[in-house]
Amino acid sequence: MSNRVAQLVTFILSLIVGALGLFLLPLGLMVPPFILFPLLLGVVALSSSLSASWASAPLVSHQSYSRLLPVVGITEITAAGLTVVLLLFFKLVGQVLLPIVLLFGVFTLIVVSSANWATWRYRSAERALTMDILVTAGMVALSAIVFVGVYLLSTRLGLIGP
């Protein structure tokens, strides 16, 4: 498979997996946007970077593997930057001018694009499969803990809930 086709397939797969974050949008009915968007973009960044990293390995003819930590780091930094832009926009304008789903879709495309770029930019000839599995499991567990922790802290601070 050519490198361009492999990149396109990886992008499509990570976009599909990253778009699963849309299923978290109903949380917006009870969570304010300044809490919801960082959580959503964090989930999209983690899921798209992990899926792009894991999907890229079998798609290339040469034996190179994406380095998991730089890929996830760059994608999460992109999501954090978009979150800062969005929060500043909320602060300055006071409202979102675009529908939330459209805005989230555009931000998802940007985050997935950064995951795809980082997947193909940070590659290595050797792979530590056990370490990659442990890092993936650790990141998924940590993201679940952060997600629940932010929700509970927001409830405790009175930002959400009755």
Query: Residue 16 pLDDT more than 80?
Result: yes
Q: Is residue 64 part of a domain?
A: yes
Greatest CA separation found in the chain? 56
The number of distinct structural domains making up the chain is 1
pLDDT beyond 90 at 88: no
CA distance 49 to 69: 9
Residue 11: inside a domain, yes or no?
yes
pLDDT at 28: 61
pTM: 0.82
Give dist(CA 36, CA 81) in Å, integer: 15
- The mean predicted confidence, pLDDT, of the chain is 82
Residue 89 lies in a domain: yes
pLDDT grade for 96, boundaries at 50, 70 and 90: low
Residue 161 lies in a domain: no
Domain residues for 54? Answer: 3-156
Assigned domain for 74 exists: yes
Of 90-104, 110-124, 142-156, highest mean pLDDT: 110-124
Contact 52, 115 (CB under 8 A): yes
Using DSSP's 3-state secondary structure scheme, residue 156 falls into helix
